[in-house]
Amino acid sequence: MTDLLRQEIATAATTLVVKVGTRVVTGPDGLLDDARIARLGEELHQVVETGRRVALVSSGAVASGMGRLGLTRRPGDLAHLQAVAAIGQSALVEVYERSLRAHGRHAAQILVTADDLEDRVRYLNARNTLLTLLELGAIPIINENDTLSVDELRTTFGDNDRLAAIVTNLIRAPLLVLLSDVEGLFDGPPGQPGAKILRTVTRLDQSIFELVRDRVGGFGKGGMASKLEAARLATTAGENVIIASGRAPGVLAGILAGEEVGTLILAQGQTVAARKRWIGFTVQPRGYLVLDEGACRAVREGGRSLLPIGVIDAAGPFHKGDVVALRDPAHVEFARGLTNYSSDDVQRIKGLRTARIAGVLGCHPYDEIIHRDNMVVTR
């Protein structure tokens, strides 16, 4: 059954990012399923045949490495996990290359860490490389560089759902497709009597997140919660997201035909400029500022710059030029921006009128702590 809105979204999606989780590319034994990847490769080829460009974010390196090493249990320590991923990554891309080569196409391996995309120059280099690969008709196979990343907030993406959202913002793809082992977002636990799939989410508010919070035990790695968080990153920047089953044959063709496949989460605002996507949705904040109600309204509703008088508190350490989060008096983040002052200087000038900056700091380099041109409302 087709839907007019979905048809319009599919028509506008000249570029899309597809993310597949480990459960999509593995079999019941937890090892890589070559046949399933072959079917996925055929579907990706069919997408490109329509004149569209597609990038794939794929998990499965650890599962692939386990298969190559004959392991039946996933390693429990970081060093062995990284080693298994290093062995499995080449095998994973080899399977993708083989499946795509059967249709006259090629896979291009892209391994990144969070640090790569937090650096502005490397971020732009990654963007240029991806766009050139898409121009050449290749299909980038993107994954986090598990052999270098460690489980810390600023050096990992947290999961490939978030990485997929970052890639979507990086190349400004109008559509992100998150393929999972479930059909979409349900209003209750999938499989429970009476639970129904939500076909369209028009507003990604707290009530939607609460549908899965208890079921997954918080916003950890993987699961529907991380997919909704990824959807928030992409839809806030003005793109649409579909969560669907990666095990359903022809899922991508159905999505591009405008069929009611999975859950469609509509863009939550206007399209955000490329530089502001980097500020608001890629770089992890180095600290935060707490604003009073008046400053929150000025930033969120009036599009104003942030002046010292509106700042209640600052937490760091952070330096001039770092990205910091803006929080309301209840400590709920609603924006991010590039700060003109360090955390130490903000602590000294918070709550003051602009005319008093020079008297406190001995200089007056900027009126604003964050200029509106370097700020993005994220919620």
Q: Left, alpha or beta for 205 (phi > 0: left; psi -120 to 50: alpha)?
A: beta
CATH number for 372: 2.30.130.10
Boundary (domain end) residue, out of 216, 249, 276 = 276
Let me know: does 199 contact 260? Beta carbons within 8 Å.
yes
pLDDT (0 to 100) of residue 147: 63
61 in the same domain as 201: yes
180 in the same domain as 297: no
Question: pLDDT tens, position by position, for the chain (379 residues)?
Answer: 668 899 999 999 999 999 998 889 988 888 888 999 999 999 999 999 999 999 999 988 888 899 889 888 888 888 888 888 889 988 899 999 999 999 999 999 999 887 788 888 899 999 999 999 999 999 999 998 866 655 433 345 557 899 999 999 999 999 999 999 889 999 887 777 888 999 999 998 888 988 885 444 333 345 888 899 999 999 999 999 999 999 888 999 999 999 999 999 999 877 888 888 899 988 889 999 999 999 999 999 998 999 999 999 999 899 999 999 999 999 999 999 999 999 999 999 999 999 999 999 999 999 999 999 999 998 8
219 in the same domain as 256: yes
Query: Residues 312-333: pLDDT tens digits?
Result: 999 989 999 999 999 999 999 9
Boundary (domain end) residue, out of 229, 249, 276 = 276
39 in the same domain as 131: yes
303 in the same domain as 173: no
180 in the same domain as 103: yes
257 in the same domain as 117: yes
33 in the same domain as 115: yes
Helix ranges (H only) for the chain are 4-12, 22-25, 34-49, 61-69, 78-101, 114-118, 120-135, 160-171, 206-216, 223-236, 251-256, 274-281, 293-300, 343-349, 357-361
pLDDT (0 to 100) of residue 269: 74
CATH number for 20: 3.40.1160.10
324 in the same domain as 196: no
Number of domains in the chain: 2
For residue 32, list its beta bridge partners: 26
The whole-angstrom separation of Cα 299 and Cα 335 is: 8
The whole-angstrom separation of Cα 181 and Cα 191 is: 13
Boundary (domain end) residue, out of 225, 248, 276 = 276
Let me know: does 161 contact 59? Beta carbons within 8 Å.
no
265 in the same domain as 345: no
Cis peptide before 317 (omega within 30 of 0): yes
For the chain, counts of helices (H) and of strands (E)? 15, 13
Query: Residues 121-180: pLDDT tens digits?
Result: 899 999 999 999 999 999 999 998 866 655 433 345 557 899 999 999 999 999 999 999
Structure-token pair, residue 161: 């759902």
pTM for the whole structure: 0.84
What is the signed CA dihedral for 139, 20, 144, 64, rounded to 10 degrees? -100
338 in the same domain as 233: no
263 in the same domain as 223: yes
Identify the domain containing residue 52 by its residue range: 4-276
